[in-house]
């Protein structure tokens, strides 16, 4: 992934993310979910690989988040899908550091490509290319209570 410039961005104060919860934030057109795991903060792309659900609204247990829409679960440290082995894709993860109570996230300084971008899994998987879903369109039928 050489060639893509990255920079650290000051995002928000630690107190804004409740313990074992996530919060969504938008930086350079990227929707990012930041989670408070108690002993660390982790950041991933905020769109579930399944149907684009807001992962920041998911239930966090350990270092796993479960999408509120259809319960796809992701490992927040490496972006891997936990409960759908058929899925080859991986969430983008972003490095996070905390300085004097402020959360910093490192992101590529360019806007994300609209169609695809390289997604890397740590561990031993090769770099994969993931087709991004378009944002949910307005004519999707809402579900009933």
Place of tokens 């107190």: 15
Q: What's the CA gap between 88 and 68, in Å, rounded? A: 21
Among 4, 102, 118, 129, binds other proteins (CB under 8 A): 102
Per the rule left: phi > 0, alpha: psi between -120 and 50, beta: everything else, 57 is: alpha
Q: Does 136 bind other proteins (CB under 8 A)?
A: yes
At closest approach, how far in Å is the CB of 96 from other proteins?
13
String of DSSP letters for 93-112? EE-EEEETTEEEEEEESSPP
At closest approach, how far in Å is the CB of 16 from other proteins?
4
Q: Does 25 bind other proteins (CB under 8 A)?
A: yes
Nearer Cβ to other proteins (51/128): 51
Range in contact with other proteins (rule: CB under 8 A) among 22-30, 84-92, 114-122, 125-133 = 22-30
Query: Cβ-count burial of 134 within 10 angstroms (0-12 exposed, 13-18 middle, 19+ buried)?
Result: exposed
Number of residues that bind other proteins (CB under 8 A): 44
Place of tokens 């903060």: 41
Q: Does 108 bind other proteins (CB under 8 A)?
A: no
Q: Does 53 bind other proteins (CB under 8 A)?
A: yes
Q: Contact positions toward other proteins, by CB under 8 A?
A: 7, 9-12, 15-21, 23-28, 51-54, 57-62, 64, 66, 68-69, 71, 73, 102, 107, 109, 136, 138, 140, 142-145
């Amino acid at each position: 992934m050489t060639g893509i410039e990255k920079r650290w961005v000051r995002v928000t104060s630690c107190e804004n993310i409740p313990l074992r919860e996530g919060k969504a934030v938008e930086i350079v057109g990227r929707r990012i979910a930041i989670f408070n795991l108690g002993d660390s903060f982790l950041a991933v792309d905020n769109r579930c690989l399944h149907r684009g659900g807001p992962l920041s609204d998911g239930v966090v247990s350990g270092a796993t988040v479960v999408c509120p829409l259809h319960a796809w679960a992701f490992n927040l440290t490496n972006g891997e899908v936990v409960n759908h082995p058929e899925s080859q894709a991986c969430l983008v993860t972003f490095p996070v550091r905390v300085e004097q109570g402020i959360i910093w996230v490192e992101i590529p300084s360019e806007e994300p490509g609209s169609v695809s971008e390289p997604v890397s899994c740590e561990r031993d998987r090769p770099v994969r290319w993931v087709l991004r879903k378009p944002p949910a369109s307005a004519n999707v039928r809402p579900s009933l209570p």
